[in-house]
Structure 1
Amino acid sequence: MDWTWFHRLGSPKWFYEKTNAWIPWLAVISISLLLIGTVWGLAFAPADFKQGNSYRIIYLHVPASFLALAGYYIMAISGAIGLIWKMKLADMVMKSAAPIGSVLTFLALVTGAIWGKPTWGTWWVWDARITSMLVLFFLYLGVIALQEAYQHQDTANKASAVLSLVGTVNIPIIYKSVDWWYTLHQPATLKLTSESTIHWSMLYPLLIMIAGFYCFYALVLLQRTRTEILSREKKTKWVKALAEEKGS
């Protein structure tokens, strides 16, 4: 089978040129969704009959948690592609995804702690879900550290990819932790196979926030990857020509 199309798809130059047109649209869509979701969720969604207004932290906590997990898969899959097919763009995406994922995981942990104080009476417990999310945070930091630990970029990419792939075993643990172990953390309210347990008046702004976070994640990942492309490809003719065009 001819895989030249696959390698052409992973061309840094092709990616940089094609994503020029995507950036403005993603920016408008993500900002619009986040504004609508934030205003709807904080100002118009009703208070919860048990938790009052403290539940509104879900409009940050849940999207951040979703993206922390999905972003890890993106990082790990990119690392696998880089290992197997030696695609430079995949390695760049993997490196670019790690800091974004670490910030989202940190945000999920902090907002979870803020939510936990009025709900459980404490900022932190060694709950199965929280502990596995903390492990995820350290995995992201490990990939970032490996990228900086080696002078040779190829070695850094291979080490980061291996850690990313090994760390994927933690993702199912995070998903199923509330089902496998006794835990203070509440079960999932958003379900694909059955009806969600959250009322539509709270659900709709949450879904908008999740969509906004996904679009914003894509926007930031594209921007970071484009910056990484320019850094690694700075000696190529097309990057030099681009720099001269911007300088003129």
Structure 2
Amino acid sequence: MKLPLWFHRLGSPPTFYRFAGRLMPWLYVLAAGLTLWGLYGGLVLAPPDYQQSDAFRIIYVHVPAAWMSMAGYGLMAVCAFIALVWRMKLAETMVLTAAPIGAAFTLMTLVTGSIWGRPMWGTWWDWDPRLTSELVLFFLYLGVIALAQAFEDRRAGARAACFLALVGIVNVPIVHFAVKWWNSLHQGSTIRVFSESTIHSSMKWPLLVLAIAAYLYFIASWMARTRVALLEQHAGTDWVQALTQGDRHG
């Protein structure tokens, strides 16, 4: 199966560099605006929870981070598949640049979950299926980062990291469905796509806004890291030299 021509063109380092450079500022601005709007709605406008009082408001950090930790790994795995099947160098690079961002979101999920769990469960940590699988997800991100750096040959390290990223995707549905498959202290999903959500609308919309902001921030940061990586990998090529010369003249 062949990739579309536009996809091949976007996979060209100079084309991606220019495309990402134009899109990134808009994504950052949108992410910042939605974050402020969502935090105002969640921390100021939303009423206290009838059981957890104001302690529930940590969901406005915890839940978007958790969703992004899984979605980020999914995006990384897609790039890994493209890199391994079609040998696209840009896709290899994007696997390596996505991993630190995904690891940061996963760490944020674990930390905020522990803070939330202390008053709710009476403990900072429990080997709950959801918590344990999320911890495994964090280690998978770290594994991708470490494996890429374990080889002297950059391409060999990138291919090994792509393989691990692709194999590790089996953990993502485990994280998502852990509360349904096993007995869990962790509460189930309160926001549902195909049925009525159990969370009140005044609490729901700030959560969705912050989730969108997290996605936009992830994509923008991913593009920024990839652009830096491309400059390092292609230093000395004509298109990078043209960029640096243009910056000096500017």
With over 3 angstroms needed to count, the CA separation of the structure-2 counterparts of 1:158 and 1:41, relative to structure 1, is: same
Q: Is the 8 A contact 1:105 1:136 kept in 2?
A: yes
State how far apart, in whole Å, the 2-side matches of 1:50 and 1:4 are: 52
Q: Is the 8 A contact 2:24 2:220 kept in 1?
A: yes
2:206 alignment partner in structure 1: 205
Q: Is the 8 A contact 2:20 2:224 kept in 1?
A: no
Does the residue aligned with 1:183 lie in a helix, a strand or coil?
Answer: coil
2:159 alignment partner in structure 1: 158
1:49 alignment partner in structure 2: 50
1:34 alignment partner in structure 2: 35
What value does the CA root-mean-square deviation take over the aligned residues? 1.1
1:130 counterpart letter in structure 2: L
Deviation at residue 227 of structure 1 after TM alignment = 0.7
Is 1:72 aligned to residue 70 of structure 2? Answer: no
State how far apart, in whole Å, the 2-side matches of 1:2 and 1:215 are: 29
For residues 1-248 of structure 1, the aligned pairs below 5 Å read 3=3, 5=5, 6-248=7-249
Identical positions, percent: 48
Q: Is the 8 A contact 1:79 1:157 kept in 2?
A: no
Deviations 1:172-216 (A, max 9, x none): 111110001001000011111211110001001111111111111
Deviation at residue 46 of structure 1 after TM alignment = 0.5
State how far apart, in whole Å, the 2-side matches of 1:190 and 1:145 are: 35
Deviations 1:7-29 (A, max 9, x none): 22211111111122212211110
State how far apart, in whole Å, the 2-side matches of 1:76 and 1:24 are: 25
Structure 1 length-normalised TM: 0.97
2:220 counterpart letter in structure 1: L
Deviation at residue 4 of structure 1 after TM alignment = 6.9
2:238 counterpart letter in structure 1: K
Q: Which moved more, 1:189-198 or 1:128-137?
A: 189-198
Structure 2 length-normalised TM: 0.97
State how far apart, in whole Å, the 1-side matches of 2:129 and 2:198 are: 22
Q: Is the 8 A contact 2:129 2:184 kept in 1?
A: yes
State how far apart, in whole Å, the 2-side matches of 1:245 and 1:204 are: 45
Deviations 1:197-247 (A, max 9, x none): 100010011111111111111111110111111111112100011011112
Does the residue aligned with 2:81 lie in a helix, a strand or coil?
Answer: helix
Q: Which stretches in structure 1 are left out of the alignment for 5+ residues?
A: none
Q: Which moved more, 1:18-27 or 1:48-57?
A: 18-27
1:203 counterpart letter in structure 2: K
Does the residue aligned with 2:26 lie in a helix, a strand or coil?
Answer: helix
Deviations 1:65-118 (A, max 9, x none): 000000001111111111111111101110110000000000000000011011
Deviation at residue 151 of structure 1 after TM alignment = 1.2
Q: Is the 8 A contact 2:100 2:145 kept in 1?
A: yes
Deviation at residue 59 of structure 1 after TM alignment = 0.2
Does the residue aligned with 1:243 lie in a helix, a strand or coil?
Answer: helix
Does the residue aligned with 1:168 lie in a helix, a strand or coil?
Answer: helix
Moved over 4 A (4+): 1-4
With over 3 angstroms needed to count, the CA separation of the structure-2 counterparts of 1:148 and 1:39, relative to structure 1, is: same
With over 3 angstroms needed to count, the CA separation of the structure-2 counterparts of 1:204 and 1:234, relative to structure 1, is: same
Deviation at residue 168 of structure 1 after TM alignment = 0.7
1:239 counterpart letter in structure 2: V
